[in-house]
Amino acid sequence: EAGVTQFPSHSVIEKGQTVTLRCDPISGHDNLYWYRRVMGKEIKFLLHFVKESKQDESGMPNNRFLAERTGGTYSTLKVQPAELEDSGVYFCASSQESWAANSWETQYFGPGTRLLVL
């Protein structure tokens, strides 16, 4: 079974440009999450999809970030226009259920997209 995949693995862009990151979750996983790790800091939650609906987008930094999940399969995260502070590693994760039977299901992470804004 294929894991979570992300594309591209690396992206180097100039300030003001647009970048679109893609995430393909594990097949059948309704829950999809985006996280970001800025250099030296902790990994921080950005948003959560359940199928095609945004369940929680409280972690999105500002309106330069737009996430979509049309059809409830893959997701894209667009940054427009990119700023220097957007540099970091963007992780996507997916899971089937969340909380069930007094237990959490783990989230399975992709390898991340390393974004560098110059």
Note the residues at the interface with another protein (CB under 8 A): 3, 9, 31, 33, 35, 40-45, 48, 55-56, 58-59, 89, 91, 93, 98-99, 102-104, 106-112, 114
Residue 102 beta carbon to another protein: minimum distance, rounded to whole angstroms:
5
Nearer to another protein, 25 or 112 (CB): 112
Nearer to another protein, 3 or 16 (CB): 3
**Cα-Cα-Cα-Cα dihedral of 112, 11, 53, 41, to 10°?**
50
Q: Regarding beta strands 10-13 and 19-24, do their DSSP bridges make them parallel or antiparallel, or are they unpaired?
A: unpaired
Nearer to another protein, 39 or 71 (CB): 39
Structure token digits, residue 13: 């862009």
Residue 47 beta carbon to another protein: minimum distance, rounded to whole angstroms:
9
Tell me, what amino acid is at 112?
G
Residue 16 beta carbon to another protein: minimum distance, rounded to whole angstroms:
27
Nearer to another protein, 10 or 15 (CB): 10
Query: In three state form, how does the secondary structure of 32-95 look?
Result: EEEEEECCCCCEEEEEEEECCEEEECCCCCCCCEEEECHHHCCEEEEECCCCHHHCEEEEEEEE
